[in-house]
Structure 1
Amino acid sequence: METDEVRDPAALAELRARLEAGRIASRLNQTALARKAGLGRTTVSRALSQSAPGPSADTVGALGRVLHLDVPALLGLLDAACGRGPAAVADAGRPGQAIQLWDPHDLEVHPAAEAPAAGSSPGAARDRNPGARGGALPAYVRRPHDELLVELVASAEDGNNAMAVLVGSSSTGKTRACWEAVQPLAAAGWRLWHPFEPTRADAALTSMRRVAPRTVVWLNDAQHYFGGENGERIAAAVHGLLTDASRSPVLIVGTLWPEVADTYMTPPRSGEPDPHSQVRGLLAGRLIALPDSFDGTAIKEAEAFAAAGDRQLAHALKHSDNGRLTQFLAGAPELLRRYSTASPPVRAMLEVAMDARRLGAGVHLPARFIEQAAEDYLSDEEYDDLADNWPDQAFTDVTRPVQGRLAPLRRVRPRTAQNTPAEEAAPVPSYRLADYLEQHGRRRRARLCPPESFWQAAHDHLSPEELTSLAEAARSRHRFQWAEQLAQQASGSGNANVLVRIAEIRRTEGALNEADRLIQRAADTGNTTALISLAIARENAGRREEAEQLAQRAAEGGDSKGLGQLAEMRESHRDPKGAEELALRAVSLGNTSPLIRLAEARELAGAHQSAERLCQLAANAGDATGLVRVAAIRETLGARKGAQKLYQLAARVGNASALVRLAVQREMAGDRTGAEQLAWQAANAGQSFALVRIAEMREAAGAQEAAEKLARQAIEAGHRFALVRIATIRQVAGDHKGAERLYRQAAESGNPSATARLTEMAEAAGEPEAAERLALHAAKSGNPSALARLADQREAAGDPRSAEKLALLAAEAGDTSALARMAEMRELTRDTEGAERLARQAAAAGNPSALMRLADIREAAGDSNGAEKLARLAADAGDIHALARVALMRAMAGDTRQAEQLARLAADAGNPSALAQLAERKAAAARNDSRPMLHGPDSDASAVPVAR
């Protein structure tokens, strides 16, 4: 029996989208789903069909239970579709559940190593956390980053939207810190939503707009949300949530590894595409760094917990060094020992998993893939020595826990609903690589290309989405045949996202017709990315009506970006009316950014009234940022009165940025009372910098007492660097005593930047011991740059021994810059032995580019042999660009064969441009142009293959 008359098609579409996503995630076709749910094949087909009447409640319940979906939420959507019970529907549609219902291990908090029992039962340690299925968690030791999270949570409790992403290496305590931070919200009745199924990105895109007030959005391993093809859309959705006052308050927390954060936050070079612009804007000012180790204060607190009976912390304190307690608790040392001493088949399995993860495979790796891929990781002798049942033996060994529940590979038991019909009789297990080993593999195996068995196993056993990523990895490593085969295997699935990705690969390879066909196939399924791509192509071809229809379809599918892109194209083609119509259609779907971009373009073109009108329309839709951005343009062009008018309009609707601007203007006009009032309004709206800005202006005007007062108020409002900024102004003005007093106050509150400034002042005052003590304190607080700068000063002052000692301490704390700079200085003073020693130390600490910089200096000085030696050392240390440089050096020496071999190795190591660079240099020399000769007279430039 089917539903009553459908009154809300959007709710019915959402219901079907969830059911279909669950079916795909469970890898069931409709026949298998019908059999599992005890329903007829036709019933299931009509339930999922967009053209059929809605399914009955019994059908929805049966399908939801089989697919492990939230059945009450599905029934709520069904009620909404039929116009029944809107209040119940609203609650059912809220993503997430009460915080206290979550187990921390389900949110990916690492299980902690269990300490050997000392006169107590093995289960005694678990009594502290009876609800934690992953075993006991040790007592939590707070560190400086936790104080920042406390402030963030307090702001959320006060009704503000807030976000922070913790950045740190594997097993440094990022996820546990987030979990501890949100506990105060549990008592206040907050929910927590972890976007996870069917994939993290799909869940975020589908449900971010349904997040309700008093929800924590949990983005652990945020690269899964921001790093894929939908990363920019997800970043825009998160930004929309943060700026939507109707859904306040919400708290968004996430985690990232440092190298991933660097990728997002590094702007592209001029002229290059910017794949992370929205992500970079979202994360700016919201990243919190975690140190790799505990400082002295944290160690003392851990010791106190250990003395009070926490056996896990006591065990970690006894067996770890350098304050790396979290890594020990996560089993890192033992995991590395197990890997380094593993038998050949176990080592091969671990390296298969490392390579799969770094090249784009999913977290859960099928056992059949690991077993098949491992063969070519073994030498002939090792392979011949294998027992007949070697896979069983190896899996038993590699999954044996090192401590507690921690293992190099952990078996992931498949749920029965996720098996294909062929697998129901004997489900195939999957395995997950330990995070610490995954990061170790990314670092140590970055320049290695997997062997043939890896690509074949991937072709045979991995999913279409994984194959797409691996096809790109194969292509970048010049494994063109495998790139083609993997791409064909992926596209054969018909998955729309895969079709789009394969189309992109084909387009870069010049297969434009095939790319267009794949995009059309994807668009026919309703894929919004493909629809937008086709819309732009139709617009460029002058087929405007078709373009609009395609962009509208994408917008109805949840992506209004295409409407904005068409609007900008119409504006550039001098069709302002058409541009506005498209932008307003985007606004009706909740996306005001196209309207704001049009306003900015018109303001720059001098159409001030039109720009202002568009900004007002955006403000009426709840987004006043356009008013502020256009006002800033006017202010830059000198139209201060017009700018002030727009700032005032934006301020009236509560825009914090506009309040900051107006506060500055009031201060400049001498209205200090008005300036402070506006600055406090901005601070209360989340812009504590407004108080700092006014404080700086008071300091510059000589009103020091007033400046200090405002700076302290800014700290209370959440801007922890306020006193440091005022102190810096005093220091520049020559008031060193006043500056030192403020730096000390800031340092006492835990600000590492203030400690670094005090270090510089102590060194300048001739107090080297005090300077070192302060620099070490700053490093322990998460700022090793103070040690690096002090090392530079000692080197410049002619104290190389002290400089080296400090540089090594800085490198241990995570800043290798001083070692690299000292190596260059020694090289320039012809202390080549000292230069190499320092560069090697920098490379060992994770900075192989120090060796390449020495190579550059030697090459410029005419020492080609010395330069090549250093470049080879850099390549051995993991610099993927060094091999390419060595290849060019060999070519310059006339050794074409060796140059080509090295260029191929560089391509295999992840630098696909190496072969192209060599070919370009050879071709240039063959043309007898002005560039230097890089090969012998008998070499053949055409013999070097170039990447397609």
Structure 2
Amino acid sequence: MTDDQPEAQEFDGRESALAELRDRLDAARAKAQCDQTQLAKRASLARSTVNRALSHTAPAPSVNTITALAQALRLDPDPLLALLRTARSTPSPEVLGDCEADGVPGRPIAECDPLELEVHPAAAPATPRASHPKRAGLPTYVPRPHDDRLAEIVREAKAGQSRMAVLVGTSSTGKTRACWEAIQPLAEEGWLLWHPFDPTRAEAALAGLQRIGPRTVIWLNEAQHYLGARQGSGERLAAALTTLLQDPTRGPILILGTLWPDYVDAYTALPRPDAEDTHPQVRALLSHRRLDVPDRFDAATLDKARTAAVNDDLLLQALERAPEGCVTQDLAGGPELVHRYNSIAPAARAVVTAAMDARRLGIGLHIPHDFLADAVEGYLTDAQYDLLPDNWFEQALADANQLVRGNLAALRRVRPRPSRRLGLAEAPTPDSTCPVYRLADYLEQHGRTTRRMQCPPESFWHAAWVHMDNHEDLARLAEAALARYRLRWAFLLHQRSGCYRDLGEDCVGKFVVAQLTGAAAEAVVTWAAEEGETWAMLHLARVSWRDNDLETAEVYARRAADADDPEGLYYLGHIREDAGDREGANELICQAADHGHEQALLLLADAFRSEGDTANEMDAVREAAEQGSLAGLGRFLTLLQEESDEEQFAQVGWQVAVACGLPGMLYYAGVRRDADRTSAPEDLVHRTVGWPGPVTLTRIAEEMYHRGDKTAADGFALEATAAGEAEAWGELVDLRLETGDVAEAEIFARKAAAAGDTLALLLVAGAHEEAGNPAEAEALAQEAAAAGDTDGLLTLAEFRMNAGDAAGAEALALQAGRLGNAEALLWVAEQSEKSGDINGAEKYARQAADGGVFTNPGYSDVTYGEWLPAQVAAQWPYGLDPDGTPSPAWHLSR
């Protein structure tokens, strides 16, 4: 026997199984006296799907297709599926098809199973009619308006143009199913589908993207796990996808993704001018590639669904259960999951609740068993806990894993699959001794809504501290603890995450310690410094320097410098200068500059300038600019202008400006404009930045506004709105209010509100209130509130308070608080303190803290403690414990 005979036999076996499968199906079709069109109607499949399933030249059909055909032809599906498994068994590497042999990721769409691609299954009808065959997991698909645009994108891809679409909607709204239905025309053309997911989705995508071939669908379901990956992976992947889309030699490619609206908002929100831009590549990638999927069927779609439901019991019963149009959620089993959650035994409900809190506060998709085992205790009352049997936790997990309608479980165990990647090293096998669990999407969203004003118990935070190893999860939990003023857990979790070691003082000093007051802050910082944290040493050096205690300041600055922190060298230089040691100060500043310290470089440039050493001054400011310093860039461009070398200014100046990002490029544009008054600002920026997209146009408008160039800002904002960027309307509202044109601001605010930005209405309402137009102000605030913006209720409360109606104001603010607006509760706390009701102030401040009111103070120089009523802050010097009581001193706790 030759070496290739086993492979040939293997190939023949698969082909024989596939041929027999098709012969059995075709014989049953003939016996049933129906053609392929009639069979497609019986099985609720596309005519082309049936044709491919019976054709001896097409790839093997999917499990879903075979099951549907078997049911339509009254055949036992098990023997057919056994033949299919043989036909689809993984061949030896030597006999793989061309794509697999070359290491090209993906497999033919026709061989893919939608359930394996995370299309939500649907349960069997509760009372199927005998005249209707049972369906294989998926109901009849009812197209909606977004499907038309998606079909157009697929046609463009089929015609040879690389395209991308991201379907955006809340949980179980049919996003993934829409993608699956849309690509069926590509299946007929032999396109491949690649679903990267192992070892993690982002890692798999980054590793395999360079091997993607033309005519491939890249399947990024739940795209937050790709585009939102930490450590820069999401940004790198977004950049790589953008490059792939723009490379005609690798197309056509179709990229399909799904996202929840909250993730899209987080990725596309423009950063404040003083904040880091964490998602520029993702924001650019998503621009104009978003398709919104409504959470319910509109009237026209409901009519189509009722027509389709004549032959589909699944769809018919879903329509009967979902009169308000939430059909897809019902089909996915969402309501049944909530019912199950509310009715299961207390221990199982406690486990699911702990998982809900884990997901909403930042833990990843896979929740460790040991974390749940320790966290759940605090979710049970003493009476419930006393009655538990010995094996209560495992029984609770089993109860939570029970399936409901739609084959969904509230909390299911995740079974890791072996690596299936080709041409790559095998990923390490997850530790099978530490199971992980995943919360159902629908319950995750339910928990985010129903528990948004709840702070998890002590056991939750302690379990995270003990059992969570992922530093990104720990960092998110630390932020969640800080948002709830649980400062001790914020400090300990953030310290254990290790993130602060890369980010320095801003990540810990301002993260936690700056929220402490008086002796509490001093004690914690001193302890951290003794533990070897350079951010704490620098904090103490600054405080001592400010208090003119140069000896202590030098001790701490020296310790930081000895730990290789250039900030320590910089402060040592200042301290030595104040002590009269100018020579020693210069040497230390030079050392800090050698380490790339921005401020040290600028001070060094000052020294060179005073000595008339222009060449070294230019080198110093250029290095500072290349570190991202706009001040350094400005000085560098000024020096270039002084040399009157236009070519150097145009080439070198631009290169250095690019290193400072968009603000640097805009700064460069402003300098050129000032030097050449004949150029219009808009033309100059377009020449400088390139031809920006609508998101970038809005960012440019914001930058121009903050630089005081209102005219240019207005022009760019208008250009962005014309290109379809909704956020730019809000920028135009700011500009009109700045010039006092409240009437036109109101026009733009209504356009912003129509695009979903009701904040613009409240800004104009505030302007009307200041102008003495209370009726107009209240009308706009009510309009925002009616649109679901609880800030509208809070604004109304402020207006009522200004009018002297304290009781009415409090009622409105408390209504906003009940709807999840924690800031409204903090406002009530402030009003309570002003009226002398300290107990009420503490009560509402605690409720606001439970709801995460301190998520973002809006600007860096305000500590969270300053948000609290003064007397409340004085009672909480160390923050709160999880149960809401003031924390005792905790700086030495480990």
TM-score range, shorter chain: 0.5 to 0.7
> Is the CA contact 1:851–1:870 (under 8 Å) kept in the aligned structure 2?
yes
Q: Report the secondary structure of 1:218's partner residue.
A: strand
2:358 aligned partner, one-letter code: A
Deviations 1:318-369 (A, max 9, x none): 2221222111111122222223334322322221111101111121223343
Root mean square deviation, CA, Å:
5.8
Q: Distance in 1 between matches of 2:496 and 2:829?
A: 35
What are the within-5 Å matches in structure 2 for residues 20-31 of structure 1?
Answer: none
2:493 aligned partner, one-letter code: L
Q: CA shift at 1:110, angstroms?
A: 1.3
Q: CA shift at 1:445, angstroms?
A: 1.6
2:322 paired residue number: 320
2:335 paired residue number: 333
1:161 paired residue number: 162
1:945 paired residue number: 877
Q: CA shift at 1:885, angstroms?
A: 0.9
2:413 aligned partner, one-letter code: R
What are the within-5 Å matches in structure 2 for residues 506-521 of structure 1?
Answer: 506=508, 508-509=510-511
1:262 paired residue number: 265
Match of 1:479 among 464, 473, 486: 486
2:847 paired residue number: 905
2:604 paired residue number: none
Q: CA shift at 1:546, angstroms?
A: 8.0
2:557 paired residue number: none
1:893 aligned partner, one-letter code: S
Q: Distance in 1 between matches of 2:237 and 2:427?
A: 29
Asked if residue 889 in structure 1 is aligned to residue 889 in structure 2, the reply is: no
Q: Report the secondary structure of 1:107's partner residue.
A: coil
> Is the CA contact 2:480–2:855 (under 8 Å) kept in the aligned structure 1?
no
Match of 1:281 among 274, 284, 288: 284
Q: Distance in 1 between matches of 2:568 and 2:151?
A: 49
2:110 paired residue number: 100
1:862 paired residue number: 804
> Is the CA contact 2:331–2:406 (under 8 Å) kept in the aligned structure 1?
no
Specify whether residues 484 and 893 from structure 1 end up closer, same or farther in structure 2 by C-alpha distance, changes over 3 A only. Answer: same
Q: CA shift at 1:893, angstroms?
A: 1.3
Match of 2:243 among 240, 244, 254: 240
Q: Distance in 1 between matches of 2:217 and 2:462?
A: 42
Specify whether residues 475 and 920 from structure 1 end up closer, same or farther in structure 2 by C-alpha distance, changes over 3 A only. Answer: closer
Q: Report the secondary structure of 1:469's partner residue.
A: helix
1:432 aligned partner, one-letter code: R
Q: Distance in 2 between matches of 1:434 and 1:444?
A: 15
1:304 aligned partner, one-letter code: T
Q: Distance in 2 between matches of 1:604 and 1:396?
A: 76
Match of 1:378 among 361, 380, 395: 380
> Is the CA contact 2:418–2:429 (under 8 Å) kept in the aligned structure 1?
no
What are the within-5 Å matches in structure 2 for residues 416-431 of structure 1?
Answer: 427-431=433-437
Q: Report the secondary structure of 1:125's partner residue.
A: coil
2:584 paired residue number: none
1:249 paired residue number: 252
Q: CA shift at 1:183, angstroms?
A: 2.5
> Is the CA contact 2:596–2:624 (under 8 Å) kept in the aligned structure 1?
no
1:347 paired residue number: 349
1:394 aligned partner, one-letter code: A
Q: Report the secondary structure of 2:404's partner residue.
A: coil
Specify whether residues 100 and 612 from structure 1 end up closer, same or farther in structure 2 by C-alpha distance, changes over 3 A only. Answer: farther
Specify whether residues 499 and 191 from structure 1 end up closer, same or farther in structure 2 by C-alpha distance, changes over 3 A only. Answer: farther
Higher relative contact order (CA 8 A, sep 6+): 2
Q: Report the secondary structure of 1:113's partner residue.
A: coil
Q: Distance in 2 between matches of 1:907 and 1:275?
A: 26
Q: Distance in 2 between matches of 1:361 and 1:162?
A: 33
Q: Distance in 1 between matches of 2:354 and 2:301?
A: 38
Q: Distance in 1 between matches of 2:835 and 2:345?
A: 43
Deviations 1:444-470 (A, max 9, x none): 222321101112222343332433332
> Is the CA contact 2:758–2:789 (under 8 Å) kept in the aligned structure 1?
no
Specify whether residues 901 and 628 from structure 1 end up closer, same or farther in structure 2 by C-alpha distance, changes over 3 A only. Answer: closer
Q: Distance in 1 between matches of 2:625 and 2:761?
A: 57
1:883 aligned partner, one-letter code: L
1:454 paired residue number: 460
1:114 paired residue number: 124
Q: CA shift at 1:920, angstroms?
A: 3.6
Query: Unaligned stretches of 5+ in structure 2?
Result: 1-89, 420-425, 514-524, 537-563, 571-588, 598-614, 628-635, 657-663, 694-718, 726-749, 880-890
Q: Distance in 2 between matches of 1:508 and 1:831?
A: 37
Q: CA shift at 1:92, angstroms?
A: 4.0
1:435 paired residue number: 441
What are the within-5 Å matches in structure 2 for residues 119-198 of structure 1?
Answer: 124-126=134-136, 136-198=137-199
Specify whether residues 633 and 335 from structure 1 end up closer, same or farther in structure 2 by C-alpha distance, changes over 3 A only. Answer: farther
Q: Report the secondary structure of 2:190's partner residue.
A: coil
Asked if residue 849 in structure 1 is aligned to residue 786 in structure 2, the reply is: no
Specify whether residues 819 and 942 from structure 1 end up closer, same or farther in structure 2 by C-alpha distance, changes over 3 A only. Answer: closer
Q: CA shift at 1:501, angstroms?
A: 7.3
1:109 aligned partner, one-letter code: V
Deviations 1:222-280 (A, max 9, x none): 22233343233333333333333443332222111122222223323443333233322
Q: CA shift at 1:411, angstroms?
A: 2.8
Q: Distance in 2 between matches of 1:894 and 1:641?
A: 58
Asked if residue 295 in structure 1 is aligned to residue 298 in structure 2, the reply is: yes
What are the within-5 Å matches in structure 2 for residues 698-717 of structure 1?
Answer: none
2:476 paired residue number: 469
1:305 paired residue number: 308
What are the within-5 Å matches in structure 2 for residues 351-370 of structure 1?
Answer: 351-370=353-372
1:855 aligned partner, one-letter code: A
> Is the CA contact 2:366–2:414 (under 8 Å) kept in the aligned structure 1?
yes
Specify whether residues 179 and 629 from structure 1 end up closer, same or farther in structure 2 by C-alpha distance, changes over 3 A only. Answer: farther
Q: Report the secondary structure of 2:115's partner residue.
A: helix
Deviations 1:774-821 (A, max 9, x none): xxxxxxxxxxx99998xxxxxxxxxxxxxxxxxxxx99xx99999999
Specify whether residues 819 and 581 from structure 1 end up closer, same or farther in structure 2 by C-alpha distance, changes over 3 A only. Answer: closer
Q: Report the secondary structure of 1:164's partner residue.
A: strand
1:729 paired residue number: none
Query: Unaligned stretches of 5+ in structure 1?
Result: 1-69, 77-86, 127-135, 492-496, 519-532, 549-570, 584-597, 619-625, 658-692, 697-718, 722-784, 790-809, 923-933
Q: Distance in 1 between matches of 2:284 and 2:205?
A: 18
> Is the CA contact 1:468–1:502 (under 8 Å) kept in the aligned structure 2?
no
Q: Distance in 2 between matches of 1:204 and 1:572?
A: 46
Deviations 1:274-329 (A, max 9, x none): 3233322222222111111222332233233322x323212212222122211111
Q: Distance in 2 between matches of 1:340 and 1:486?
A: 31
Q: Report the secondary structure of 1:252's partner residue.
A: strand
Q: Distance in 2 between matches of 1:74 and 1:909?
A: 59
Q: So what's the TM-score if we normalise by structure 2?
A: 0.58
